[in-house]
């Protein structure tokens, strides 16, 4: 069995850690829920020396663009099988068009606003990593169902805006498949089969809960944060065929309909 070192034991990586432990792997991790402090360089380097596989879920700093894992431990990563949780945001705005792993990222094309995740994604790939490009992540405690129940759901009047999403357990199955099958290095999109608008998902969650949908707001009325505005300004559909072909991955929740039903 292997020894997986995870940088950043968060919402998604924590589930990956539990799944690999259940398969008999040894797992070490940095982060508040991990067993090693990221700043403990001796402890991290000792774990790196023992680890057979490395997974990073740590994003780069949005301002500086610095990836703390690469900045601090890049030399010690050489020669290890690397796995990186990236984002489909690396593709930028495609005005609703489909993208796949052959689509140039912002870091490769130079088009659009600077995207620090795209820059980090490119570095990880150049180091031979398997980069999992993830769209909007949802799951227990983090979904349209939860937002509707908490009165935090919104509907914004952007009729042509569409994006992909993925249930956290489908990320888990894709990453575990790559870890256990010695997947070829490269990028893998892990998204569901039905890109849709945020409004459609919110409205479906309301139907499941028997609640009225929130009022429709204009983009200006919504008064969104800069981060949220950036999200809504991007519009794309993410193809997942490579992960299905190469990893044998099949999402358990192929659309938000199955995913939300399971959460309810």
Question: What digits encode the pLDDT tens for the residues 182-198?
Answer: 999 999 999 999 999 99
- The pLDDT of residue 228: 76
Confidence of residue 219 (pLDDT cuts 50, 70, 90): confident
Apex 107 CA angle, 224 and 143, nearest 5: 40
Q: Which whole number is the average pLDDT over 247-252? A: 98
The mean pLDDT value for 246-253 works out to 98
Per-residue pLDDT at 17: 97
Q: Whole-prediction pTM value?
A: 0.95
* pLDDT for the residue numbered 55: 98
Residue-wise pLDDT tens digits, 93-122:
999 999 999 999 999 987 767 789 999 999
């Amino acid at each position: 069995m292997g020894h997986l070192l995870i940088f950043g034991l968060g919402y998604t990586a924590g589930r990956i850690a539990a799944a690999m432990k259940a398969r008999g792997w040894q797992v070490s991790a940095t982060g508040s829920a991990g067993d090693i402090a990221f700043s403990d360089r001796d402890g991290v380097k000792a774990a790196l020396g023992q680890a057979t596989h490395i997974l990073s879920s740590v994003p780069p700093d949005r301002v500086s663009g610095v990836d703390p894992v690469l900045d601090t431990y890049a030399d010690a990563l050489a020669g290890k099988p690397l796995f990186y949780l990236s984002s489909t945001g690396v593709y930028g705005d495609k005005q609703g068009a489909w993208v796949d792993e052959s689509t140039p990222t912002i870091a490769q094309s130079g088009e659009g606003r600077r995207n620090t995740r795209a820059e980090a994604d490119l570095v990880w790939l150049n180091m031979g990593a398997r980069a999992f490009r993830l769209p909007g992540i949802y799951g227990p405690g983090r979904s349209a169902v939860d937002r509707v129940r908490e009165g935090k759901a919104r509907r914004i009047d952007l009729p042509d805006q569409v994006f992909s999403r993925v249930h956290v357990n489908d990320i888990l199955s894709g990453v575990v498949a790559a870890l256990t099958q010695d997947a070829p290095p490269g990028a893998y999109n892990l998204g569901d089969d039905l890109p849709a608008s945020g409004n459609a998902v919110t409205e479906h969650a309301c139907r499941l809960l028997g609640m009225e949908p929130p009022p429709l707001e204009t983009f200006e009325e919504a008064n969104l944060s800069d981060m949220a505005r950036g999200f809504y300004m991007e519009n794309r559909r993410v193809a997942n065929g490579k992960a299905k072909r190469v990893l044998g991955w099949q999402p358990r929740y192929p659309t938000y309909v199955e995913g939300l039903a399971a959460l309810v």
